[in-house]
Amino acid sequence: MFDPGFILAGVLNGLLAGGIYVLVAVGLTLIYGVLHIINFAHGSLLMLAMYAVFFLWKLAGLDPYMSLPIVIVGAFVVGFLLYRGLIGRFSHGRDENILLITLGVSIVADNGALLFFGGNTETVDVPYAGQIIELGVAFLPLAKVISFVASLVICLALGLFMAKTDTGKAIRAVAKERQGARLVGIDVEKIFAISYGIGIACLGAAACLLMPTFYVTPQSGYAFVLVAFTTVVLGGMGSFVGAAVGGFLIGVTESLGGLFLGEQLGQIGISLIFILILLFRPTGLFGAKA
C-alpha cells in the first residue's frame, strides 16, 4: 500500500502546503524577532485576511491572486494601526501580558467573524481549481503549485527588502540591539509598528494564496495558530531560515501524518512536534540561545 511513489506524492504535497506555512511563520518570527512578543492573534488575523479575500471575490469578482496587492497593503495598514493603537502600548513588562492582550484580540476577531459573517464554511470558486499538473508519480493541483512558487517569491522579496533597503536595515538593527538603534537615531517605535505591519502583510499574502484551495470559517484562526507557532518554534524563534525549513517540515509532517494515521489522528503530529521541541530543544533547529 505504501509504495515509494505514494510516499513521494505525499512529500511533494506536503512541501507545497509547507510553502504557505513558511509565509505565515515568517510573519510570526519577524514579529517575535523584532518586538520580542508572541503574537497569539496571528491565526485570527490570518482568518480575517482570508475573509477579506473571500469578500473581494464574492462582492467584486476579484480572483484571489489578483487581490494580492490589495490584501497585502490592507493587512499592512491593519497591522500597523493595531500595533500603534493597542499592542504597542502594552507590549512591555511581563511577557504573559502581551500574550493575554493578543488572546483578547483573537477572541474579538474570532467572535466578530462569527457574528458578522456567520458560521458557514466559505470557499472561493476559481476556474483553475480542478486543474492538475502531472509530475512523474505525483499529480499536483495547479493552484497549489502557483501558491508555492508565489510564496517563495514573496519570501525572497521580503529577504531582499530586509537586506537592501534602509527600512530593512533599521528593522534588523532594532532586532539586534534596541538601545543601540535608538542611539543612532532610529525611531524604534515606528520600526516596531512597521515590523508588526509587515508580519501581518505576510498573512495577507498567505490568505490570497490559500483561498483557491482552502476554505475559511471563524474557527480557521485557531486551526492555524498552533501550526504557525509549531513552525516558528521548530525553526527557532526569530530565525528566518528556521521559519522556512520549519514550514516545509511541518507541511510534510502533516501530509505524511494524514497518509499514515488518517485524517483525524494525523493532526497530532504538529502538536507533538511542538511539545517535543519545547521540552527537548527550545531553541529550535536554527535559533540562537534563548
Contact residues toward another protein (CB under 8 A) are 38, 40, 86, 89-90, 94-97, 99-101, 103-108, 110-112, 114-115, 222, 226, 229-230, 262, 264-265, 267-268, 271-272, 274-275, 278-280, 282
Of 183 and 279, which CB lies nearer to another protein in the complex structure? Answer: 279
Concatenated DSSP letters for 271-286? HHHHHHHHHH-TTTTT
Of 38 and 216, which CB lies nearer to another protein in the complex structure? Answer: 38
Q: How far is the CB of 81 from another protein (least distance, A)?
A: 15
Q: How far is the CB of 43 from another protein (least distance, A)?
A: 11
Of 116 and 136, which CB lies nearer to another protein in the complex structure? Answer: 116
Of 54 and 229, which CB lies nearer to another protein in the complex structure? Answer: 229
Residue 105 to residues 40, 86, 109, 205, 216, Cα–Cα distance (Å):
8, 9, 6, 20, 18
Q: How far is the CB of 282 from another protein (least distance, A)?
A: 7
Query: Any idea which residue has 493532526 for its cell?
Result: 267
Strands (E), 129-239: 132-135, 138-141, 215-216
Q: How far is the CB of 117 from another protein (least distance, A)?
A: 10
The rounded distance, in Å, linking the Cα atoms of 165 and 215 is 36
Q: How far is the CB of 133 from another protein (least distance, A)?
A: 32
The rounded distance, in Å, linking the Cα atoms of 231 and 142 is 25
Residue 287 to residues 29, 239, 284, Cα–Cα distance (Å):
11, 6, 5
Of 43 and 247, which CB lies nearer to another protein in the complex structure? Answer: 43
Q: Which residues pair with 34 in a beta bridge?
A: none
Q: How far is the CB of 271 from another protein (least distance, A)?
A: 4
Containing 123, the helix (H) or strand (E) segment is strand 122-123
Of 81 and 86, which CB lies nearer to another protein in the complex structure? Answer: 86
